[in-house]
Structure 1
Amino acid sequence: MKGFLYKELLQHKNTLIFCACMPFLITATLFVFIPINAGVNDAGFRDGLTELFDSRILPLVPVFAFFITGLMQSSLYQLDESKKWGFFAAAQPDGIRRSIYAKYVVCFLISIITLFSATIADMLLIMLDHLIRGTAMEEILSLSGVLPVMVFFQLFFRAVDYPFTVRFGTTRGAKVKIGIIAGAVLITCIYLLFGDLPEQLGDWFLAAAEFYQKVVEGKATDTVYLILGIFMWLAMGAYLLSYRISCKLYLKGVEQFEK
């Protein structure tokens, strides 16, 4: 197990480093445009900073980082898509399970690294807002409470994604997923246009809108926590199930590689 994991860590060390730096790179990119924007608008640097903080873009930086690192997770299998490596891994004692396990561990590690770096970036942005503009700490928008949930969203999406990647490869797997999603959307649209809709559909929409309003007003906190808790357990279960499915599909995926 350690050999495959070491190989994955060595192979993707730059990806791990990049994920750790991602929130800070996004923040630095935004701050680079401050003097440019200030020069164009004949405003001072401090005014440019104030405008940037007022735009509410900075609190979303950690969330953007999760989206970008999620794309990196999707490409973890790309370097190993060859028959030689696939059959070599399968020939090792318990090689298929160990190889897939290493991929899933690195994927999880990317999410954890992103969580820590995004949390630190969020804290730094809060401190900058407080020091530069003098905003009270309790008035500063922070999405740090959402970041742990983003980890489970990443794991859930990869749980759906990886079996397709293992079976069909990165490129073909993406096409298969897009085809399935497009087909599901098309069937849903056709049904909504021509099918018999349940009479309670309008009531469901009204109930959903009412629940959303309660969430915004902070009146459904317990329900939201319950839903998130259930989702987190489902995401972990889906991730483990995805690992087992990927192990079953491994050799079928290797056989379709050309080299």
Structure 2
Amino acid sequence: MKGFLYKELVQNKLRLALTVLIALCTVFLPVLLVFIDEESFSKNAFSVFVNEGAILRYPLVVLGFLASWIITEWMPSGDRTKKWCYFAASTPSGISGYICSKYIFMALQSAMYFALCIGLSYLLKFICDSVGGYDIPSFAKLFVALYFIQLASIAVDFPFSVRFGERAGGIIKVAMYLSLTAIALLVLKNNPDGLLSGIEKLIKKLIAGDFPSYFKFILASGAVLLYALSGVLSRFLYLKGIEKHSK
């Protein structure tokens, strides 16, 4: 399995670099948007960021989450061929070793992204405090929660690509997410204030980490368990999905 892990590391250098870039954009892009003037990095500029520009952090956290999710699940073209599938099955580690290395690498890449986001957020918090004495939320607890949510999302998502191939699996996943979006829009249409208010409260709780200890335990342990079960499922689906890959 060490060989598969090394192959993942070498083959996905660009992916790791993109992960670092997305983390930088997620945290610091809102700052750049409000500092593009002659008073850049002045106390007044930081005041604008803290009081007005900080609202940009929320959508960027969501976009960063989605972008890192897509990149984390991206499978190199060489892995989507029948030749590679049969070769992986013939190695000493076999399919189990390949799938296990894939899941370990995805979990580590996701952890790297959110660890970078947390570190950069604390750096931004330190800069704001040093320049103007402004206190901004670090979003550390939010990023930790999003890490486990992303693990659970990958756990549900990745077996479709393994079983049905990248294209067909993607179509199935898009159909599933569109259905969920349609349901959300129906709820929003019938009770817009209630849904938006609920989302706002949830975001505030995630940022503050204002959840009972048992909820945090359920989220973390549930995501890890689901991720492990997904790996086992992908192991059994792998050979069945070989015919869906290109030659």
Please state which band the TM-score falls in when normalised by the shorter chain.
Answer: 0.7 to 0.9
Q: What are the within-5 Å matches in structure 2 for residues 159-238 of structure 1?
A: 159-182=155-178, 221=210, 224-238=212-226
- Identity among equivalent positions (%) equals 28
Tell me the residue number matched to 2:115: 116
Tell me the residue number matched to 1:73: 72
Of residues 41, 50, 53, the one that matches 1:53 is 50
Aligned-residue offset at 1:17: 3.1
Tell me the residue number matched to 1:149: 145
More moved, 105-114 vs 16-25: 16-25
Larger radius of gyration: 1
Could you give the per-residue CA deviations for residues 160-210 of structure 1, whole angstroms, max 9, x where no partner exists? 0110010112222121122234456779999x9xxxxxxxxxxxx8xx97x
Tell me the residue number matched to 2:15: 15
**d(CA) in 2 for partners of 1:255 and 1:3?**
25
Tell me the residue number matched to 2:84: 85
Gaps of 5+ in 2: 188-193
Q: What are the within-5 Å matches in structure 2 for residues 232-247 of structure 1?
A: 232-247=220-235
Are the equivalent residues in 1 in contact too, given 2:80–2:246 (CA < 8 A)? Answer: no
Partner AA of 1:251 in structure 2: L
Aligned-residue offset at 1:64: 4.7
Aligned-residue offset at 1:230: 0.7
Aligned-residue offset at 1:114: 1.2
Are the equivalent residues in 2 in contact too, given 1:65–1:114 (CA < 8 A)? Answer: no
TM-score, L = length of structure 1: 0.76
Are the equivalent residues in 2 in contact too, given 1:86–1:254 (CA < 8 A)? Answer: yes
Gaps of 5+ in 1: 193-204
TM-score, L = length of structure 2: 0.79
Are the equivalent residues in 2 in contact too, given 1:20–1:117 (CA < 8 A)? Answer: yes
Q: How many residues align?
A: 232
